[in-house]
Amino acid sequence: MQKKELSLQIVHPHAAGIDVGSRSHFVAVDQDPEHVMEFGVYTRDHLLLIEHLKKFGITTVAMESTGSYWQTLFNALQSAGIDVHLVNGSQTKNVKGRKTDVIDCMWIQKLHSLGLLSGSFLLNDYLQQLRTYYSHRQHLLEQVSKYISKMQAVLRLMNIRLDIILRDTTGKSGIAVIQAILNGERVRCDAFAGQLSLLDNRTTYS
C-alpha cells in the first residue's frame, strides 16, 4: 500500500516575513531570495518598506518581537492598513544549518503563509497608555526612595541624626529642620528634641 504524502496548504497567499534588527530590517515577500530587501530603521525607511510590500500585494506581515526594535515598524505597518502578526522568537528559531538574515526572513514568510504562526497578545491604545503612566509612576517612586536615602546619608555624615529622633525625615517636621539647617540656623542639642515637638504645628523652623 502506497503511503499518501501530506502537504501543507497556503493559508495567507499575500504574506510577508520580516526579520527585525537594530540597524536594519530584512523583508521577504515570497520564497525567492532575489525579492528579499533590506531596509533601514528610520521613518523614511518604513515608508519605503511599506511601498515595497504594497508593490507585491502584501496584505499581512509576520515579524519577530525582537527587543523594542519592532515597535515603530509595527505601528507604521498598522497605520498603513497591513495586518501585522507579532510573534515570539521561539516560534521561528527552528531553522537548521547556517543562519542569515535572508534565510530568517524567508523562513518567517514561509511559516506565516502556511498559517503556522500565532500573534502575541497586545494591549489596545488605552491600556497601553495606562501601563505607561503606571510604569512612569513606579519609576518616580523608585527615584524618590533613592534620593531620600541619599539625604539621610548626607545628614549622617554631618552628624545630624534625624532618623533617630523622627520616624519620617521627609515629613513636615523633618523637612522644616532640613530647611532650617540650609538657612544656617543652629540650636543646642539638648534643646533640639524639645523643639521638634513644636514643629508639627508650624510650617517653618525658627
| pLDDT above 60 for 115 | yes
Place of cell 497608555: 129
| pLDDT above 90 for 203 | no
For residue 113, count CB atoms less than 10 angstroms from its CB and return exposed for 0-12, middle for 13-18, buried for 19 or more: buried
Chain centroid, CA 195 distance in Å: 49
Per-residue pLDDT reduced to its tens digit, 60-72: 999 988 788 999 9
Which CA distances in Å does 170 have to 51, 108, 175?
57, 55, 5
Higher-pLDDT residue of 158, 70 = 70
Q: Which span out of 46-55, 112-121, 188-197 was modeled with the highest average pLDDT?
A: 46-55
Are the C-beta atoms of residues 23 and 45 closer than 8 Å to each other?
A: no
Write out the three cell numbers for 108. 518567517
Mean pLDDT, the chain, integer = 83
Residue type, 22: S
Mean pLDDT calculated for residue range 137-150: 89
Mean pLDDT calculated for residue range 102-120: 91
Band (pLDDT 50/70/90 cuts) for residue 35 is very high
Task: Give the CATH number of domain 15-113.
Answer: 3.30.420.10
Parts of the chain belonging to CATH 3.30.420.10: 15-113
Query: Any idea which of 25-29, 136-140, 173-177, 193-197 has the lowest mean pLDDT?
Result: 193-197
Higher-pLDDT residue of 75, 193 = 75
